[in-house]
Each structure stands twice: as C-alpha cells, then as structure tokens.
Amino acid sequence: MSTDVLTPVLTDIWDAPRSWTLATYREHQGYRALARARTMSQADLVEMVKGSGLRGRGGAGFPTGLKWSFLPAPDGGPRYLVVNADESEPGTCKDVPLMMANPHVLVEGVAITSYAIGCDHAFIYLRGEVVHVYRRLLAAVREAKEAGLLGDLEITVHAGAGAYICGEETALLDSLEGRRGQPRLKPPFPAVAGLYARPTVVNNVESIASVPGIVLGGAEWFAGIGTARSSGHGIFSLSGHVTRPGQYEAPLGITLRELLELAGGVRAGHQLKFWTPGGSSTPLLTAEHLDVPLDYEGVAGAGSMLGTRALQIFDETVSVVRAVSRWIDFYKHESCGKCTPCREGTFWLQQIMHRLEDGKGTPADLQALSDIAGNILGRSFCALGDAAATPVQSGLKYFREEFEAGCHTPARELFPPAASTLHAQEVTA
C-alpha cells in the first residue's frame, strides 16, 4: 500500500529539525490559526468545531464542539479548559510523542479553545512520570508567552503523580484541586460544575491539538476526511509484533490490514493471533477482524471499541492467558478502591488469572472468572472497572481453550516467553 493513504496533520512536522521549537512551528504555519480564530466570534468557532464532526480522541468519542456548547452562559465568574494529558492506558502512546515532537500545536489549540469558550486560565494535566514531556511543555508555554502569543491567557502545566485513574476526567479534576484522585458522581458534569465547581471543558490532548488544523483547513475539509460519522485524521499507534512499530496518522476508517501493510506486516515468519483496537481496555479482536473499519461505528460493530487507537499486535507465540493476566495486574493495581465491584472484583480476577497462568486453575475458576467479569461490567462507578472485565470476557470468547489449558499446564510451557520477546536479553524465565 502506498503511504498516500496517510494524512499527516498533527504529525506533519515531527521530522523537521528541532520540531518542538516555536521557530520551527512558525515556519510551518504555526499560530496562524490562532490569529484567524481571533477574527471570528466565539459562537462561530464552536459551530466550526461542531461542523467538523471532531469527536473526542481520549477514547469515548464524544463530539467536541457539542461538549463546548454545553457550558452555561457566562456569569462573570471563571470557566476553565483542562487538557487531559494523563495517557496511562497500556498500549496507548500517542499523546506523549505528540507533546514531545510538537508541543506548540497543543498550546495553540489550548489558546484557540480558551478563546472559544471564554476561559482565561487553562490547565494541562500531564502524567507525572514523563518528566521530559513536562519540561518540554513548560518550555513551549514559556516561549509562546514571551512571544506575546497568549495575551492574558494563563496556562498551567501540572504534573500528576502517575495514577491511571487520574485520566478519568472527574478524578483528574479532584487531583488537580489537590485531593486524592477518585471519580466524582455525575451529574453535575464538568461543563456545569468542574474545576473548583466552575464550568469546565475537559478534552484529550489530540482533540485540542486538532483544533488549529480545523480553523486553518475549515470544517468541511476535516469532515471530508474519514467516514461519515467518524470524521478526520487520527494517530494510530502500532506496537508489539509488527515490523515497523510507530505512529501512523491516517483517516478514521482505515483498516488494520492497511495499517499493517504500511508498517511492514507482522514480524517476519509469524502470523497475527490477536490485537487490541484501542488499548487494553477495549475487547481484543483476532485475524478475522483485519478488515474492520477503524472508526467508532465499525469497531463497535465488531464487538469492541475504537478507544485510543492503540493497536497492540500479538503473534501466535503469545499466550492469551499470560497477556490478560498482566493487564489484570495493572487494573487491580490501579483500581482506586471507591466502589466494591471493581475493588474486590479486580482482586479476585487477579487471583484466578495467576492460578490459570501457573497451570493450577480449576474448572470452577473458569466459571468464577466469567461471573466476576460479568458482575464488574456495567456495575462499577467508572469505566476502569469495565476496562478490567473486557480483556477477560473477550479472551474467553475467542481463546477459551487456552483458559481451559490453564487447569493443567502453565502458560510458560505452552507458550515459552522467549519465543515472543522482542529483546532477547530481557527474558527472565
């Protein structure tokens, strides 16, 4: 397949020398969208983003312009924009490279969005472990401020302490306010009572970084990319057993078969066994789903979710039981403990998955696994619980025989880890 199918907009200048600097960004039309936006009315900007069909790139796909329009009419008090840069989902790796390679496209998006919603203090809540990205964002905000591009807008870059739950938008707001990050009961939604109980828009990094392109290219241009209900370009992150892993920016609706062709296919001599369309919280799919359009509707039709377009590729050497077991370790560790189904359920799932991985499971364990996952899904306070249930359920759906084998044979004997590792020196046992 030719690379013509790619639509590099957000990733356009990643290969340019010192792509992260204001000088390079301005050589590539940087901050022209902000100047244009300031000639428009706030209402027209919101309408433009609505008309583009941009849907939130943080996973759920909620229409961005519609979210902005939910803010109540100004009452003279503050209103906030909070950019969700917590990116912690296993497999998800698009926002961090975007902020490293071109932080100014995010800063410009923040400035335009702040203007559109009438906000004069915006926040970028960043996952705490990525100190290098924190420094880069601070430098970009400082550069833009010193160049007089931000006017009176204040942008605070906040480094979290590294908790997956702080990516959930209301837990993020609690954390930003200095409290322990746990989800809030909704309603009220952040648009009505968000940060410091004031009207707040929470959007993903990629959503906000897409705004300058929409202002420059126009709503129709953006809506013309992708599919009818999933418009625009998106970053698809290919990782795992693929010849050329990396970020591929393409129209929504592209298929994994097409992306794999661009990425040189599954690693030489191997076949695709299973994959995630949008990180570990999206039900896994198999080789029979290679031609599913990677848009919100197409992936939902195949029984999964587009999520964050984190395409983790696993070949035939990988034990599904072992992979699901690692994900459950993660969700159990990250469960915030606020609600019983997730707090207790992830603990029980972990016990059973470890037994199956060691070949010490029982037939009753398989039934319990299915029951517990079924009792977490849809009954948890936030979507982290659902995220823990989905790999178990989809693993059982497509690879039940591997879970049954966990009643007598350790996964490491059926699928020796050395065969699936990409870095031989890292194999432990």
Ligand X SMILES: Cc1cc2nc3c(=O)[nH]c(=O)nc-3n(C[C@H](O)[C@H](O)[C@H](O)COP(=O)(O)O)c2cc1C
First to last CA, the chain: 39
Q: Minimum distance from CB of 274 to ligand X (Å)?
A: 22
At which residue do the structure tokens 């497999």 appear? 91
- Nearer to ligand X by C-beta: 88 or 312? 88
Quick check: 140 and 110 in contact, CB under 8 A? Answer: no
Q: Minimum distance from CB of 95 to ligand X (Å)?
A: 7
- Nearer to ligand X by C-beta: 260 or 336? 336
DSSP 8-class letter at 429: -
DSSP per-residue codes, 406-427: TTTS-HHHHS-HHHH-SSGGG-
**73 vs 199, 222, 250, CA distance in Å?**
10, 28, 37
Lookup: tokens for 114: 């702040």
Interaction partner, residue 36 (ligand X, ligand SF4, none; CB < 5-8 Å by kind): none
- Nearer to ligand X by C-beta: 87 or 315? 87
Q: Minimum distance from CB of 340 to ligand SF4 (Å)?
A: 8
Interaction partner, residue 87 (ligand X, ligand SF4, none; CB < 5-8 Å by kind): ligand X
Residues that bind ligand X in the complex, under the rule CB under 6 A? 56-60, 62, 84, 86-88, 164-165, 167-169, 202-204, 207, 382-384
- Nearer to ligand X by C-beta: 53 or 56? 56
Q: Minimum distance from CB of 89 to ligand SF4 (Å)?
A: 13
Interaction partner, residue 59 (ligand X, ligand SF4, none; CB < 5-8 Å by kind): ligand X
Sequence letter at residue 408? H
Residues that bind ligand SF4 in the complex, under the rule CB under 6 A? 165, 183, 335-339, 342-343, 380-382, 384-385
Query: Residue 425: is it exposed, middle or buried by C-beta count within 10 angstroms (0-12/13-18/19+)?
Result: exposed
H-type alpha helices, 218-339: 219-223, 256-262, 296-301, 320-334
Q: Minimum distance from CB of 62 to ligand X (Å)?
A: 5
As a whole number of angstroms, the distance between CA 242 and CA 268 comes to 8
- Nearer to ligand SF4 by C-beta: 149 or 352? 352
Q: Nearest-CA neighbor of 344 among 372, 386, 383?
A: 372
Interaction partner, residue 338 (ligand X, ligand SF4, none; CB < 5-8 Å by kind): ligand SF4
Q: Minimum distance from CB of 203 to ligand X (Å)?
A: 4
Q: Nearest-CA neighbor of 267 among 203, 314, 332?
A: 314
Listed in order, strand segments (DSSP E) in 341-395 are none
- Nearer to ligand X by C-beta: 46 or 260? 46
Interaction partner, residue 169 (ligand X, ligand SF4, none; CB < 5-8 Å by kind): ligand X
- Nearer to ligand X by C-beta: 46 or 411? 46
Interaction partner, residue 339 (ligand SF4, ligand X, none; CB < 5-8 Å by kind): ligand SF4
The values of phi and psi at residue 276, to 5°, are -110, 135
Interaction partner, residue 336 (ligand SF4, ligand X, none; CB < 5-8 Å by kind): ligand SF4
Residue sitting closest to ligand SF4 (CB) = 342
- Nearer to ligand X by C-beta: 119 or 405? 119
| Residue 357 parent element (H or E) | helix 340-357
Q: Give every strand in the sheet of 200-204, ordered side by side.
A: 154-159, 121-126, 80-85, 200-204
Q: Minimum distance from CB of 361 to ligand SF4 (Å)?
A: 25
Q: Minimum distance from CB of 305 to ligand X (Å)?
A: 12
